[in-house]
């Protein structure tokens, strides 16, 4: 999702910088997503947390372009779709780490990370400690 957002931003900047048109490119929706759109998208992300979710999938849920969706989502939630999903994954991981029967690797897969090391890096960046240390402190 992060790469999709980055590509959209680069394309928009190129269009703005090199367009022959004197009309400015529309900045997108001014009010963000409506309540039902936020619920639909966030519900989809929660249900498919373990999967690789693409920006286009989320934008298609609410019939918007990828760029407009990203802008509207950020306006409605104060976060990018990638940031929101990452926070949800970390929150879910914290809950799962309380169950000592679950292995850290299984938790990593359950919250959408392909490897335990990627999960540990993401968790450490968000929480400040590794998942193992978090579990130990419980």
Q: Per-residue pLDDT tens for 97-133? A: 999 999 999 999 999 999 999 999 999 999 999 999 9
- Which pLDDT band holds residue 30 (cuts at 50, 70, 90)? low
Q: Where is pLDDT greater, at 26 or 106? A: 106
Q: Regarding predicted confidence, which is higher, 130 or 138?
A: 130
pLDDT bracket for residue 25 (50, 70, 90): low
pLDDT at residue 11, as a whole number: 79
Taking 50 as the threshold, does the pLDDT of residue 86 lie above it? yes
What whole-number distance in Å separates Cα of residue 73 and Cα of residue 80? 7
Nearest to 107 by CA among 44, 48, 50, 45: 50
Q: Could you tell me if residue 89 is left (phi over 0), alpha (psi between -120 and 50 degrees) or otherwise beta?
A: alpha
- Give the model's pLDDT for residue 54: 94
Q: For residue 65, name the pLDDT band (cuts at 50, 70, 90).
A: very high
* SS3 label, residue 111: coil
Give the pLDDT of residue 138. 87
* pTM score of the predicted model: 0.73
Confidence of residue 29 (pLDDT cuts 50, 70, 90): very low
């Amino acid at each position: 999702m992060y790469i999709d957002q980055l590509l959209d931003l680069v394309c928009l900047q190129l269009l703005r910088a090199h367009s022959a048109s004197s009309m400015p490119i529309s900045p997108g929706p001014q009010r963000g997503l409506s309540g039902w759109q936020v619920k639909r998208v966030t519900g989809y992300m929660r249900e498919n947390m373990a999967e690789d979710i693409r920006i286009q999938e989320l934008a298609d849920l609410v019939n918007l372009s990828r760029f407009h969706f990203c802008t509207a989502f950020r306006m409605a939630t104060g976060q990018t779709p990638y940031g929101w999903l990452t926070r949800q994954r970390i929150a879910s991981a914290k809950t799962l780490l309380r169950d000592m029967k679950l292995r850290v690797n299984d938790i990593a897969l359950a919250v959408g990370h392909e490897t335990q090391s990627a999960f540990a890096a993401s968790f450490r960046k968000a929480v400040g400690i590794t998942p193992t240390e978090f579990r130990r402190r419980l």
